[in-house]
Structure 1
Amino acid sequence: MTANGRPRATVHDVAERASVSRGTVSRYLNSSGYVSDEARARITAAIAEVGYVRNNAARNLVTRRSQAIGFVVHEPHLIFSEDPNIGSIMLGTNDVVAAGGCQLVVLVVDTEADAARVADYLRGAFVDGVVLVSARSHDRITDAIESIGLPAAFVGRTDPAVKVPHVGIDNRQAAAEITRRLARSGRARIGMLASALDRDSGADRWEGFAEALGARYDERLVVPLPLYSYSAGVQGMTELLEREPDVDGVVAASDAVAAGALEVLRAHGRDVPGDVGLVGFDDSAWAQRCNPHLSTVRQPARDMGRAAARLVLDQLAGRDVASVTLPTEVVWRGSA
Structure 2
Amino acid sequence: MSSSTRRRSTVHDVARVAGVSRGTVSRVLNGGYVSDSSRTAIEEAIREVGYVPNTAARNLVRQRTQAIAFIVHEPHALFLEDPNIGAIMLGTNETLSEADYQMVCLVVDSDRDTERVARYLNGGFVDGAVIVSARAQDPITKAVMRLDLPVAYVGHPPDVDAAWVGVDNHGAARAITSRLHETGRRRIGMIAAALDRDSGADRLAGFTEALGADFDPALVEPVPLYSYADGAAAMTRLLERAPDIDGVFAASDAVAAGAIWALREAGRRVPEDVGIVGFDNSTWALRTTPLLSTVDQPAEGLGAAAAASVLAQLRDDEPAARTGIMLDTPVVWRDSA
TM-score (norm 1): 0.88
Paired residue for 1:230?
A: 228
**How many angstroms does 1:150 deviate by?**
0.7
**Percent identity of equivalent pairs:** 55
The one-letter amino acid of 2:86's match is G
| CA deviation map 1:211-255 (0-9, x unaligned) | 111222112211110100111111111111111111111110000
Letter in 2 for 1:44: R
**What is the total number of aligned residue pairs between the two structures?**
325
The correspondence of residues 40-79 of structure 1 with structure 2, limited to 5 A, is: 40-41=43-44, 43-44=46-47, 46-47=49-50, 54-79=53-78
CA contact (8 A) 1:14 1:43 kept: no
Counterpart of 1:177? 175
In the alignment, structure 2 segments of 5+ residues that lack a partner are none
CA 171–13 in structure 1, closer or farther in 2 if over 3 Å, else same: closer
Partner of 2:161: 163
Q: Specify the code of the residue in structure 2 equivalent to 1:322.
A: T
Residue in 2 aligned with 1:3?
none
SS for the counterpart of 1:246 is coil
Assess if the C-alpha contact under 8 Å between 2:136 and 2:196 holds in 1: no
Name the SS for the 2:190 alignment partner. strand
1:127 — aligned with what?
126
Contact 1:83 1:229 in 2 (8 A): yes
Structure 2 partner of 1:142: 141
**Distance in structure 2 (CA, Å) of the matches to 1:55 and 1:180:** 58
1:33-79, CA deviations, whole angstroms, 9 ceiling, x for partnerless residues? 575767645643543xxxx7644332222001111111111111122
Q: Could you tell me which residue of structure 1 aligns to residue 117 of structure 2?
A: 118
Which amino acid is 2:326 matched to?
T
User: Separation in 2 of the partners of 1:292 and 1:9?
Assistant: 64
After superposition, the C-alpha distances for 1:114-157 in whole angstroms (9 at most, x for unaligned) are: 11111111122211111101112222210111111111110001
Gaps of 5+ in 1: 1-5
SS for the counterpart of 1:278 is: strand
TM (normalized to structure 2)?
A: 0.88
Quick one: which amino acid aligns to residue 74 of structure 2? E
- Counterparts of 2:186 and 2:140 in 1: how far apart (Å)? 43
Q: Give 1:326's aligned residue.
A: 327
Distance 1:318 1:12, change over 3 A: closer
Q: What do the CA deviations read for 1:61-101 (whole angstroms, capped 9, x no partner)?
A: 20011111111111111221111111111122222222222
Q: 1:58 to 1:8 in 2, by over 3 A?
A: farther
TM-superposition CA deviations, 1:167-191 (whole Å, max 9, x none): 1111111111111111111112111
Instruction: Say yes or no: does 1:303 pair with 2:325.
Output: no
The amino acid that maps onto 1:139 is D
Partners of 1:73 and 1:107 within 8 A in 2:
yes
3-state SS of 2:221 partner: strand
Deviation at 1:19, TM superposition (A): 6.7
Secondary structure of 1:309's counterpart equals helix
Residue pairs, 1:1-336, within 5 angstroms: 10-12=8-10, 15=13, 23=22, 29-30=29-30, 40-41=43-44, 43-44=46-47, 46-47=49-50, 54-159=53-158, 161-319=159-317, 320=319, 321-336=322-337
CA contact (8 A) 2:180 2:247 kept: yes
Alpha-carbon distance in 2 for matches of 1:333, 1:67: 44
Query: Matches of 1:40 and 1:329 in 2, distance apart?
Result: 47
Contact 1:251/1:280 (<8 A) preserved? yes
Over 3 Å counting, the alpha-carbon distance change for 1:148 and 1:13 in structure 2 is: closer
Which letter maps to 1:104?
A: M
Instruction: Work out the CA distance in 1 between the residues paired with 2:11 and 2:202.
Output: 60
SS in 1 for 2:104: strand
What is the CA distance between 1:200 and its match in structure 2?
0.8
Q: Provide the C-alpha distance between the structure 2 equivalents of 1:182 and 1:280, rounded to a whole number of angstroms.
A: 11
**Distance of 2:266 and 2:12 partners within structure 1:** 71
Deviation at 1:10, TM superposition (A): 3.9
Counterparts of 2:298 and 2:95, CA distance in 1: 15
Distance in 2, matches of 1:280 and 1:39, equals: 56
SS at match of 2:84: helix
Task: Give me the whole-angstrom Cα distance separating, in 2, the residues matched to 1:132 and 1:36.
Answer: 38
**Structure 1 residue 309: Cα displacement:** 1.4
Q: Give the match's secondary structure for 2:152.
A: strand
Instruction: Report if aligned partners of 1:197, 1:203 keep a CA contact under 8 Å in 2.
Output: yes
Q: Secondary structure at the match of 2:276?
A: strand
**1:15–1:25: 8 Å Cα contact kept in structure 2?**
no
Distance in 1 (CA, whole Å) between partners of 2:80 and 2:252 is 15
DSSP 3-state at the match of 1:107: strand
The residue type equivalent to 2:273 in the other structure is: D
Shift of 1:112: 1.1
User: Contact 2:28 / 2:39 at 8 angstroms: preserved in 1?
Assistant: no
